[in-house]
Amino acid sequence: MNKIKSRLIHLYRCRYIGRSTLKKLFLIDPTLQSIYDWDTLAWRSHLNFSLKQSIAIQEDLKSPLLIEEVQRDQKNYNVITILDNNYPATLYNIPDPPLVLYLKGNPQLLTHNSLSIIGTRFPSKFALPIMRKLIPPLVENNLTIVSGMARGVDGLAHEITMKTGGNTIAIIASGINYVYPPEHKELCTQLEMDHLVISEYSPNTPPRRFQFPERNRLISGLSFGTLIIEAKERSGSLITVEQALDQGREVFAVPGALHMETSKGCNRMIQEGATLVQNSLDILLEWESRKYSWEQFLIESDTERKRKVKDLFDKMQESI
């Protein structure tokens, strides 16, 4: 199984191979071994790649530098794949689950019950006191706080949680060696030392525009619910909310003044059915009512993942 894991990580690093392509490759060959012998014609016939794409993939598969990088990353970082027993059960059943995760910090935090907190990069003066009021009781009730280490609300969520003595997870939109935004370098170091930083991108990947909404599905997926502190009517936070709803997660929102741009997104979410949050108890009561069913869901999700991995291993044995 370790060889399949290494092939999965390697293939995921190749140009033009994403999650959907890898899923197709698993169906063609559960061991991923024969794919290394494909010529350009095979890539074109099996997956309808262009000649240019097929040549690029072949170059990457045979590149000594890339192979060395993949081996080095597996030694230097905690790399979890969907084949591993410690793959987070919370992410397995979301639409388009990550196949590979790179971690720095304490991986045990992935087993904790958590709440995601998101919001604008440019919070008003009201956001900080609101967060200082809401977060400590959540931490006291053993909820790990998940966010994206972005400017504004995300960074504040991590900082307040750490100052309160709680645990926090940052899911970032770049590789874990690329700190973004740059001013969060010290925050990132603290998170890596005592908490957890996660990325589905290879370690030296810079942040790209499309990676932010792609990352957001993991922020919402890792937790039982997502709390929005402040958000404009059109913002990345609302993309995360849509993903949370698609994933069957709870959505909480803090209401704000009608004249404030950063309140319009939250107010609209409440109007459309998000739980209005006036204090931490509004979240904790919802958590208590859902805790048993959530934990059962995680057990079932992990059992299903392990069954599918076993089926994959059985198919691999049959092909030998």
Average pLDDT, the chain: 93
> Is the domain of 210 the same as that of 135?
yes
Segment 209-236, tens digit of pLDDT: 999 999 999 999 999 999 999 998 887 7
Contact (CB, 8 A) for 246 and 259 = no
Residue 320 is predicted with a pLDDT of: 52
Residue 106 is predicted with a pLDDT of: 97
DSSP of 226-272: EEE----SSSHHHHHHHHHHHTT-EEEE----TT-HHHHHHHHHHHT
Residue 281 is predicted with a pLDDT of: 98
What is the domain extent for residue 254?
92-295
Which of 20, 41, 76 terminates a domain? The answer is 76
Kindly state whether residue 301 falls inside one of the protein's structural domains: no
Kindly state whether residue 83 falls inside one of the protein's structural domains: no
> Is the domain of 64 the same as that of 146?
no
Residue 319 is predicted with a pLDDT of: 56
Mean pLDDT in order along the chain per 10 residues (320 residues):
89 94 91 92 92 95 94 93 94 93 97 96 94 98 98 97 98 95 96 97 94 95 96 84 92 89 89 94 97 93 86 65
> Is the domain of 63 the same as that of 109?
no
Residue 244 is predicted with a pLDDT of: 92
Rounded to an integer, what distance in angstroms lies between the CA atom of residue 115 and that of residue 53?
Answer: 40
> Is the domain of 31 the same as that of 180?
no
Kindly state whether residue 259 falls inside one of the protein's structural domains: yes
> Is the domain of 121 the same as that of 256?
yes
Kindly state whether residue 282 falls inside one of the protein's structural domains: yes
> Is the domain of 115 the same as that of 225?
yes
Contact (CB, 8 A) for 153 and 120 = yes
> Is the domain of 105 the same as that of 25?
no
Kindly state whether residue 87 falls inside one of the protein's structural domains: no
Cα-based distances in Å from 258 to 150, 233, 246: 25, 12, 28
Kindly state whether residue 315 falls inside one of the protein's structural domains: no
> Is the domain of 157 the same as that of 62?
no
Residue 243 sits at the vertex; the CA angle it makes with 132 and 83, to the nearest 5 degrees, is 100
Residue 317 is predicted with a pLDDT of: 62
> Is the domain of 181 the same as that of 48?
no
> Is the domain of 219 the same as that of 70?
no
Kindly state whether residue 247 falls inside one of the protein's structural domains: yes
Instruction: Give the CATH number for residue 290.
Output: 3.40.50.450
> Is the domain of 146 the same as that of 62?
no
Q: Per the structure, how many domains does the chain have?
A: 2
> Is the domain of 68 the same as that of 204?
no
